[in-house]
Structure 1
Amino acid sequence: MKQKLTGIALLVAGLFCTSTYLPTTALAQTTSISKEERQKQAQEFDKASQAAIEKKDFLRGAELAIKAHQLESINGTFAYNAACAYSLAGKTDLAFEWLEKSLKAGYTNLEHVKTDSDLNALHDDLRWASYLGRVKEAAKVAAALWDSEAWKTPYADQLSEEERVAGLSKFWAEVKYNFVFTDTLKKLDWDAVYLKYLPRVKAAASTAEYYRILMEMCALLQDGHTNVSPPEKLYGSEFTVPPFRTRLIEGKVIVTDVADTSLSEQDIVRGVEITRVDGIDAKLWARKNVAPYVSASTPQDLDSRVFGAQFLLGKKAEQPQVEFKDASGKTWTKAIERVTYGKRNQGIVRAGPFSWKMLDGNIAYVALNSFGDDTAAKEYLKNFPEISKAKAIIFDVRENGGGNSNVGYKVLSTLTDKASATSQSQTRDYKPSYRAWGRPDSNFDFNPWSFPAHGQYHFQGKVIVLTSPRTYSAAEDFAVAFDVMKRGTIMGEATGGSTGQPLMFSLPGGGSARVCTKNDTYPDGKAFIGVGIQPNIVVRPTLVDFRANRDTALEAALSHIKQ
């Protein structure tokens, strides 16, 4: 049912599937209302259908989704949601009927259709394969305009000059017409940027060099949801990383996790500092060799990436000479062999999307580490009867890089007894004829969005949310909504300052890119993209605490609760 969108899910995407047939006369009175009002009413019906589906009232949810479809029939998502609801309700024939209607209305998201568990009941029906085939064909036709198969050329160590220039032009055009932050484009003079990078693209000696040039160009936009990704093959040779992870703590590059246990025999363990790389100050080396290719929305976002996941990023064939320093002041140098991201991830135990424990003083600590799927919300709600016995809850989203915003809203819905506002969103509303007539650019403002109170669950004790620069995207939407609720205190560090809806597209040689198409603010228009959500109480980790396995921010939160 739900699609995984980065940042606040677009309302018109109809994230929850719903449906039931209604006679067209039921909405006859709407024919005289404006287009904007029809869209607004459709979104209201969609919101109501989501609430019904959450309560497993599939038929009611379906009824509301069909009302949305009747108001805005060109939006195939509402019809698709109807099919999902019928499938969940065991109404197979009606499910296929509404799948056909969704296809006619332009819903061609094949990958989502194939993996949507709401449609599992249809998979054994003979009509399923035929439907998938028609969706595939329709998607291919639709892609011919915006993301043609022509862009999906095979990988080669050196792409042709024509491919390289075409890829540059594709990226430039998608940014020019879709990047939501047009003031940035004007300030950069995006056309001039294209002409500046064109000679370098034509002269690129390899596909790896070509993609580094595109990444450097993309980084000028200073947006964490706008990125260029090299072909997968290059991640095994050109874009490799050390077998450990690092973080900037009190201005020092500190090892936080080690994937290769053999390194511990050489005293490369959690808490040691990296002081120099190839004889250069570690921070200067990273700002010269890593930062120019990193897309980031804020200074704290840039530092988090440059001195975190991408620190020492480089060619596998090259082994940087790294100087380490332990707490006693001892220093030593070692040549570090780089590995793939995948191999490093295999060697580092990462926390799951959700965990919780009851701390001393009857305080519940709830780690929400990812909104990539529904796990965090489902597990939280499943454990809520026990969690709610606490006198206070600490929600930790410091390691949450985002996912689907609705996952976080489900958690927040248990902290209130009324509907709560979320971010306000807008996208570009480019009209070619208006440009020809000399009219100024304009934006489309999405209708204000809110989420309802859970109803059954309502925690009324103290609440604290812990944030960091690694709090990102949908996790920032969570923090904004919590801040607006005035339900408790945000502690820690400013968030990464980046959310939105990326537009994905292919580039020659197996690469890809994405462009941020949606700008989100607080409901009152206050900016947090490019700034970060500021904590009510700033708490930064200290190196002494980190080396002693003490959590500076968590201990500050516990003290705050006890005040």
Structure 2
Amino acid sequence: MKKTAIAWALVTLLTIASIPSLYAQNSDKAAALAANFASGANEISDYNTACYFALSGNKKLALIYLTKAVKDGFSQPKTMLEDTDLSTLHNEPEWSMLVKLVRENELKEATENNLFFNQPGFWESKSFKTPYRENISEDEKVAGLSKFWSEAKYNFVNFDLVPEINIDSLYFEYLPKVKNTQSTLEYYTVLTEMCAKLKDGHTNILAPDELRNDVYARPLVRTRLIEDKVLIIEADSALQKKGIKTGMEIVTVNGLPVKEYAAKFITPYQSASTLQERNTRRYDFALLAGSIKQPVYLKLADEKGKVSEHTISRVTPEERSSKMSYPAAEYKLLPGNISYLAINSFATDTGSKVFASKYNEMAQSKAIILDVRNNGGGSTDLKILRYFLDTTTLVDKMYTRKYISTFRAWQLPQSTMRNDNIITPYKLHLNAKPLIILISPRTFSAAEDFVAAFKAAKVGTIIGEASGGSTGQPLVITLPGHLTARICTKRDQLPNGDEFVGKGIQPDITVSPTISDIRKGVDTQLEAALKELNKLK
């Protein structure tokens, strides 16, 4: 039975994350499709089915389902016209009439479903967008806390992973704390501590631009927990000349033993879903973060145990990014004719573009290694996996909360909205090639979605360490003082229903870096992958 416009309007804000990953590759398209839930859900399923049949070459069935979607109220002509999945239908006689009907649906929806709470500014009111000041008012601080509490209570999808947390009790616990803060920086810090209690990597408080250099400045080094010791794993050339070398152990930070320093100044403010993610955040991403005005004092020990002292400066996030960021994608042919592609970000589709550009070379190689160990996410891009499939494959299940106020008034339970994500194969196939993917705790968010699909499709072997254990669609909200917050609204699962949020995706073969290999410049996990491929000869 078709849902009423009002009932679906209540959940419009929660539906963006429910668009299948096949279509979420285009964020504009996903958002537009999600908006259609305001007038009905059936047309979304039929629209997706039409796209599937169009991609499969069955124009007749594609037009049948697209017509059904339009009759059920599909109302996004821009999405339909720009959707490359449907490009093969453009020359069909029915196409122009369908476009006309969709435009009529759009006009009708704008007229009939112009509900007040869908108006611009209703959810993100200008009242909360107050400017940054060194110390915003107490009223603004309380308003910001209240908005975060309210949005989390109605939208956060992972409360079952933190059963010890009562969101209302947490609100009252932090109410006097935010009132007592003496600056916006201190207020941000207190909110960050509260947010960390939810233990979710996609639920965060973000500092205003005006405080970036007071919060996110870091030295030009990379650090990491290896075999229970915190090591320097990379330093820029200037610091290397000062004696800071790869493999040196961090003994103290600002006069405190490194783990004591992390426990006191770093861990309480890290929003993390798993132990491995928490270790990554506190010993890698955030360990040496702080004010650009304050240098960091380190005691380092070399492989012989000789201790040296160093004072190093922090640099702006922009400078560090320009000098220390990994390339979005990096391809090379390894000895033994093995193709290696590191995809270090899904912020763009660079990885899949590089893959496509190297397809012929990969097709001639003996095996392929994909490396997403340093991929912190972005927008899930599953195009690469489609080269390794020989049939349409279910790769992900997801759900989000569905809140209907009248159900609450009637004392009926709230529910969830669920969806299954499928991907279809490309005509170009590499599915006969041995395939390995390397993962780590830094494999996070959209990169975990990629690995989850890889695992579900059973296209290769996963080697490394458990992934971060956090993915989902964050809802971004503004807070007074130019602060921002994110709240996780979507929960992903493997196709069989197994959870990986709060756990991490487990590798088929567990391999961890060693201190000895770090100091020798050996990539422990890559070497393990090469040995595994040698077994297949």
TM-score of the pair, normalised by structure 2: 0.85
2:129 aligned to 138, 142, 152, which one?
152
Equivalent residue number for residue 331 of structure 2: 356
2:284 aligned to 289, 300, 308, which one?
308
Equivalent residue number for residue 399 of structure 1: 374
Structure 1 residues 361, 314: closer, same or farther in 2, change over 3 A? same
Pairwise CA distance, 1:187: 3.2
Equivalent residue number for residue 287 of structure 1: 263
1:433 aligned partner, one-letter code: T
Equivalent residue number for residue 243 of structure 2: 267
Equivalent residue number for residue 21 of structure 1: none
Pairwise CA distance, 1:68: 6.8
Structure 1 residues 346, 11: closer, same or farther in 2, change over 3 A? closer
Whole-Å Cα distance in 1 between the matches of residues 415 and 70 of structure 2? 28
Please say which of residues 34-43 and 224-233 is displaced more in the overlay. 34-43
Structure 1 residues 475, 16: closer, same or farther in 2, change over 3 A? closer
Whole-Å Cα distance in 1 between the matches of residues 18 and 250 of structure 2? 34
Equivalent residue number for residue 439 of structure 1: 412
Structure 1 residues 298, 95: closer, same or farther in 2, change over 3 A? same
* 1:489 is the counterpart of 2:494: no
SS class of match (2:144)? helix
2:70 aligned partner, one-letter code: Q
Contiguous gaps of at least 5 residues in structure 1: 19-33, 107-136
Equivalent residue number for residue 384 of structure 2: 411
Aligned 1:211-360 pairs, distance under 5 A: 211-259=188-236, 261-348=237-324, 350-360=325-335
Whole-Å Cα distance in 2 between the matches of residues 219 and 225 of structure 1? 10
Pairwise CA distance, 1:387: 0.5
Pairwise CA distance, 1:375: 1.6
SS class of match (2:361)? helix
Equivalent residue number for residue 426 of structure 1: 399
Q: How many residues align?
A: 502
Indicate if the aligned counterparts of 1:80 and 1:99 stay in contact, CA closer than 8 A. Answer: no
Contiguous gaps of at least 5 residues in structure 2: 1-15, 30-38
Pairwise CA distance, 1:334: 2.2
Whole-Å Cα distance in 2 between the matches of residues 12 and 140 of structure 1? 27
Aligned 1:22-41 pairs, distance under 5 A: 38-41=43-46
Structure 1 residues 414, 461: closer, same or farther in 2, change over 3 A? same
Pairwise CA distance, 1:457: 2.6
Whole-Å Cα distance in 1 between the matches of residues 309 and 17 of structure 2? 41
Indicate if the aligned counterparts of 2:49 and 2:62 stay in contact, CA closer than 8 A. Answer: no
Pairwise CA distance, 1:274: 0.9
Please say which of residues 34-43 and 456-465 is displaced more in the overlay. 34-43
Pairwise CA distance, 1:243: 2.7
Pairwise CA distance, 1:519: 0.6
Aligned 1:61-80 pairs, distance under 5 A: 67=67, 69-73=69-73, 76=75, 78-80=76-78
Equivalent residue number for residue 115 of structure 1: none
CA distances 1:106-160 after superposition (whole Å, capped 9, x unpaired): 7xxxxxxxxxxxxxxxxxxxxxxxxxxxxxx999973322111222111100001
Equivalent residue number for residue 480 of structure 1: 452
1:204 aligned partner, one-letter code: T
Pairwise CA distance, 1:307: 0.9
2:454 aligned partner, one-letter code: F
Query: How well do the aligned residues superpose, as a CA RMSD in angstroms?
Result: 3.3
TM-score of the pair, normalised by structure 1: 0.81
SS class of match (2:245)? coil
Indicate if the aligned counterparts of 1:540 and 1:553 stay in contact, CA closer than 8 A. Answer: yes
1:521 aligned partner, one-letter code: Q
Structure 1 residues 313, 60: closer, same or farther in 2, change over 3 A? farther
SS class of match (1:188)? coil
Whole-Å Cα distance in 2 between the matches of residues 537 and 140 of structure 1? 50
Structure 1 residues 68, 201: closer, same or farther in 2, change over 3 A? farther
Aligned 1:110-121 pairs, distance under 5 A: none
